Amino acid sequence: MGKKGKRDKKGKGAEKTLAKMEKKVSRRAKKEEEDLEALIAEFQSLDAKKTQVIESSCPPPSPRLNCSFCAHPERDELILFGGEYFNGQKTYLYNDLYIYHIRKNSWAKLDIPNPPPRRCAHQAAVVPTAGGQLWIFGGEFASPNGEQFYHYKDLWVLHLATKTWEQIKAPGGPSGRSGHRMVACKRQLIIFGGFHESARDFIYYNDVYAFNLDSFTWSRLAPAGMGPAPRSGCQMTPTPEGNIIIYGGYSKQRIKKDVDKGTLHTDMFLLKAEGAGKEEDRWSWSRLSPSGVKPTPRSGFAVAAAPNNRCLLFGGVHDEEEEESIEGDFFNDIYFYDIGKNRWFPAQLKGPKSERRKRRRGRQAEAEAAGGEELQLPPPQGPQEIVKEVVAEDGTVMTIKQVIPGAAEDKDRSGSEEEEEEEEDGAMGQPVEPCPRSSAMVAVKHGVLYVYGGMFEVGDRQVTLSDLHSIDLHRMEQWKVLLEMDPKTQEWLEESESDEEEDDDVEGAEGGEEEEEESSEEESEDEEGEQQHPAVQPGEAQAQYLARTEQYWLGLARSHMGPEAKDKKVLKVAHAMAKTFYEDAI
């Protein structure tokens, strides 16, 4: 009784502190948001000029982060909306709508009158009602310099059958936020967590709201029990029974003036609906303690529902703080969570069937050659790290680390020979695509996982991706590359260049895709005029090629990096450029 009373008192104290912080952040953010409202209104006046629905084939979307990526509930299509792009100087916000046609492997842009304002870090959920609906809540708008933020608290629905946007105005909803999570569950939209940030303050949430898709009304839930701490970017998964699973996430706290401390959450909770079917549902929190091999701590991971009553986690980043910098380890692994068994396990690629047959035949031949003696299989391999370097157009070396999990011991296996072979094949397979990243967008359709974009960092430089990959979650054989990423098309402007060209705010936030196309054409013309790279001779080894052409690559690296670059770095870039060219040539 005493312990329960202390927990209740502690919970009420936390609620009071949160309420005070929310008022403080709200006051300081009000002035910033008023400044941005005028800019948002200007963009909306441009959108108001759209009077008809236009769907047109187009190139893939420009690189972006924090957009929404959902599977159409009835068609073989994926829907991408909004997002942001930062090129080192400016932040660009989008509210364009793209459709990816799965069977054609092609993109189309869909212009619809009166869309939601430009935003990123919002949430989207699809429901099959009336030919399909895409629901969108919240998100943020940032000034072009990335120093002011406007957090939305609006709710929109895209009627997919009629191709019309509609804003739903209902009182009692969540406060403005981004980084929250939203899922469709039993004719409700459930929203959890997120954060609100101004230039000087921030606040993280752990509140829960439900929007009824029949009555179009909001309600704030008050679950019993101790729930998760405030956070954003967590995993939120509905179960077939109408419950909600929360895993991980990120939050930060101010420990002293101008010093913030981030926290990677690795805990797991179940939000259970105890009064389902009654007029007022009763909810309760309980902590989950899953078995198996759990994901390593990370933020920026992507999540999706998977076949066989599972959900999945893809990629992410683990930041390691050093004295003067933060180094991030990026991931491209997949972890499955079995909802029924309350168990995590890492995914293992099996490789194509033809290769598996060859390996099986090889093992059989070895066993026969051993004269019937028992063949000792090597122990399961631990995680393998593959490192490859890609050189951007400006000479920057992008080091891409890929960690491939080793085969983990699984006590739940039946022990059959076929399953053992599949597990071994999974350990031998080396998936090399997609590259490690955080903040990727994922969607699942017909049991196939699609991964679009994301980002990784090289020093102070942010590389925003726009590639597209897929993998069959039933077979787990190999990744398919649907759209490649060309690192040479990456635009990154150093801060020192910021005064060279000044565009107005509207152009900055709108996108500037035409400028990117023109610059890429100029670059291609410059490349045509450059000296041809030394050819690789037939049968020449990589070391021989490097020794023969090192001076050429040193000169090329020096021309890209400038005379002030250190010799050690120039040598590293030169070797990386030569290695990349050699591998492409062979």
The DSSP line for 127-164 is E-GGG-EEEEE--EEE-TTS--EEE---EEEEETTTTE
What pLDDT digit, counting tens, does each position of 280-299 carry? 578 999 999 999 999 999 99
Residue 373 has pLDDT above 60, yes or no: no
> Which of 170-179, 198-207, 341-350 shows the lowest mean pLDDT across its residues?
198-207
Lowest mean pLDDT among 132-136, 380-384, 411-415: 411-415
Domain for residue 565, yes or no?
yes
Lowest mean pLDDT among 335-349, 462-476, 539-553: 539-553
For the stretch 246-289, pLDDT in tens is 999 999 888 877 777 889 999 999 999 986 555 557 899 999 99
> Is it the case that residue 85 has pLDDT exceeding 70?
yes
More confident call, 84 vs 411: 84
Three-state SS sequence of 246-296: EEEEEEEEEEECCEEEEEEEEEEEEEEECCCCCCCCCEEEEECCCEECCCC
Instruction: State the average pLDDT over residues 344-367.
Output: 72
Say what the pLDDT of residue 140 is: 94
Q: Report how far residue 178's alpha carbon sits from residue 349's, in angstroms, rounded to the nearest whole number.
A: 34
Q: Specify the pLDDT at position 42.
A: 75
Identify the pLDDT of residue 407: 46
Percent of the chain residues topping a pLDDT of 90: 48
Cα separations in angstroms, 285 against 171, 288, 337:
26, 10, 19
pLDDT class for 325, splitting at 50, 70, 90?
low
Q: Tell me whether strands 461-472 and 480-483 are parallel, antiparallel or unpaired.
A: antiparallel
Which of 24-33, 67-76, 113-122, 162-171 shows the lowest per-residue confidence on average (mean pLDDT)?
Answer: 24-33
Query: What's the pLDDT score for residue 207?
Result: 97
Instruction: For residues 461-478, give the mean pLDDT.
Output: 93
CB neighbour burial string for 21-56, b if at least 16 within 10 angstroms, e if fewer = beeebbeebeebbeebeebbeebeeebeeeeeeeee
Residue whose C-alpha is closest to residue 86's, from 490, 497, 364, 562: 490
Structural domain tally of the chain? 1
Q: Is residue 155 part of a domain?
A: no
Give me the mean pLDDT over the 542-550 stretch. Answer: 76
Range of the domain at 580: 542-585
Decide if 502 is inside a domain. Answer: no
Higher pLDDT: 127 or 420? It is: 127
Residue 338 pLDDT > 60, yes or no? yes
Mean pLDDT of 190-216: 92
Residue 550 in domain:
yes
- Three-point CA angle 308, 69, 286, nearest 5°: 50
Whether 578 is covered by a domain: the verdict is yes
Q: Where are the beta strands (DSSP E) in 102-243?
A: 106-111, 123-127, 133-137, 140-142, 149-151, 155-159, 164-168, 181-184, 188-197, 202-212, 217-220, 235-238
Give the predicted TM-score (pTM) of the model. Answer: 0.72
**Can you state the angle between helices 567-585 and 542-561, rounded to 10 degrees?**
130
Reported as a pLDDT band with limits 50, 70 and 90, residue 94 is very high
> What was the pLDDT predicted at 84?
94
Per the domain annotation, does 557 fall within a domain?
A: yes
pLDDT: which is higher, 388 or 1? 388
On average, the pLDDT of the chain sits at 79
pLDDT confidence tier of residue 21, bands split at 50, 70 and 90? low
- pLDDT per residue over 490-543, tens digit each? 778 876 444 444 444 444 455 544 334 444 444 444 443 344 678 887 777 777
Q: Would 390 be classed as within a structural domain?
A: no
Question: Long-range contacts made by residues 484-490, C-beta under 8 angstroms, separation at least 24?
Answer: 485/435, 487/390, 487/391, 487/392, 487/393, 487/398, 487/463, 488/392, 488/393, 488/523, 489/393, 489/516, 489/520, 490/63, 490/392, 490/393, 490/463, 490/464
Q: Is residue 14 part of a domain?
A: no
Q: Is the CA virtual torsion 443, 66, 185, 111 positive or negative?
A: negative
